[in-house]
Structures are given as C-alpha cells and as structure tokens.
Amino acid sequence: MNYEEVLERFVVLSQKVPTKSAEHMSRVGITPKKTYGIRIPHLRELAREIGKDHELALRLWESNTRETRILACMIEDKDLVTEEQMEKWVTDFNYWEICDQCCMNLFEKMPIAYEKAVEWSFRDEEFVKRAGFALMARLAVSDKKTPDDEFEKFFPHIMRGSLDDRNYVKKAVNWALRQVGKRNRSLNKKAIENALEIKKIPEGSAKWIASDALRELRDEKVQKRFKK
C-alpha cells in the first residue's frame, strides 16, 4: 500500500466516525492539528494489512496528522530506526496520545529503550519527559525477561519526576511507578516503599502521585495475583 492509498483509506474510514469524535478527543487532551477521527483498533487493522514499511512510515510521519503519525509508528521497522530518528520523532510529540502510542508501538521495542527512558526523563520538554516515564511504564508491562534490578534503577528517576507538576508528566510518573510495582511481589514491595518516600515530598505533584499509586499497589486484586 502506498501513501496515496493510505490517505484514501483514511477518507473511507473517517466516514464511519461519529460526528462528535473530534470534540470528545479534544476534551481528553488529544489535540492534533488535523485528525480524521479514526479509532485506534481500525488503525491497527490497517497496520496489519500494510505490514512493516520504513519508507512509508517516514512519509506518513511527516504528514503530521493524528492518523498518519500513529500509523507510522505502528508500521515502522524497528531494525531500521536510528537513534537520530527517535530523537526527531520524540521532539515532534505535542499531545499525550501520540507520545504513548509511539512508545507502545515502537520505542519500547528498541535496543536502547532503557537508555532513552532515563535520558528523556531528564529533559525539560513536557512530552519528551512524558515519553521517558511512559517508556518505563511500558517496559515494565511488556519486557518479561529483564531482571528486577533494571527496573529498580527507575525508582530514583520516578522520585525526581514527582517534583514536576505538569499534568501529562505527573500522570506518566504515576503510571511508571504503578506498572513497575505491579510487575512482581518484590518490585511491588519496593514500589510501595518508594511511594511512601515520595509522599513525604511537599513540592510538586508528589503527594498525588504517591497516594494514587499506593491505592493500586496495595489493592487486594493486585496482592492476590502475587499469591498465585
């Protein structure tokens, strides 16, 4: 499928979109410059049909619509992505959905994902910083083989990130803390300990991040899963 055929498919899919879809997206912070309003499951179906296509992904990304960029990160070939491309794309993030979709569909699969998670968590740009913590959260969910000590290295960065009170950063910091802490019993215990320390911090969004995370980390369903 070429670029023009993808756009034609978007037009067809957009005709099935509810009238108030764009309005709903705006209310939840999805604010691209242009959108067809197509749902993520439909984009995933299209991505499976296309398969991996590096050149098409690059062109779709440069089109700068919500759907072209999400589809780009779904069909991109991780073996052909360079660190320079990762840096280019991450600095293009301008709302939370494209940040999370790109981390989930592409960046978490990269060999330097752990390195970038930490590196980006130090950056000042709101959605680059969010990407760092979103990557931590996604790696905790999807990487089944990496030992606990690699995830324990995230805790100091999560504590540092808790000082940032920007909405989309603090939510990603909270997400990272919860997902690392739900990985297994040992990390759960350490995540709770870290959350209790974060809760003592008076600045930024620390108290909210810690309190919200503790509710889930201590949840009965989470604890029962560890017993199994």
Is the Cα dihedral 181, 183, 187, 188 positive or negative?
positive
The answer on 219 and 137 residing in a single domain is yes
Q: Is residue 201 situated within a structural domain?
A: yes
Domain boundary at 34, 61, 95, which?
95
Query: How do residues 58-92 score in pLDDT, each as one tens digit?
Result: 999 999 899 999 999 999 999 999 999 999 999 99
Domain extent, residue 189, equals 112-228
The answer on 228 and 135 residing in a single domain is yes
Do 83 and 74 contact (CB within 8 A), yes or no?
Answer: no
Domain boundary at 95, 125, 154, which?
95
State residue 15's pLDDT score. Answer: 87
Nearest to 133 by CA among 106, 105, 156, 110: 156
Structural domain count of the chain: 2
Do 208 and 216 contact (CB within 8 A), yes or no?
Answer: no
User: What is the C-alpha separation between 49 and 71, in angstroms, rounded?
Assistant: 11
Query: How do residues 106-162 score in pLDDT, each as one tens digit?
Result: 999 999 999 999 999 999 999 999 999 999 999 999 999 999 999 999 999 999 999
pLDDT at residue 168 above 80?
A: yes
Encoded amino acid at 105, one letter: N
Q: Is residue 103 situated within a structural domain?
A: no
State residue 19's pLDDT score. Answer: 66
The answer on 55 and 158 residing in a single domain is no
The answer on 59 and 126 residing in a single domain is no
Nearest to 43 by CA among 81, 16, 78: 16
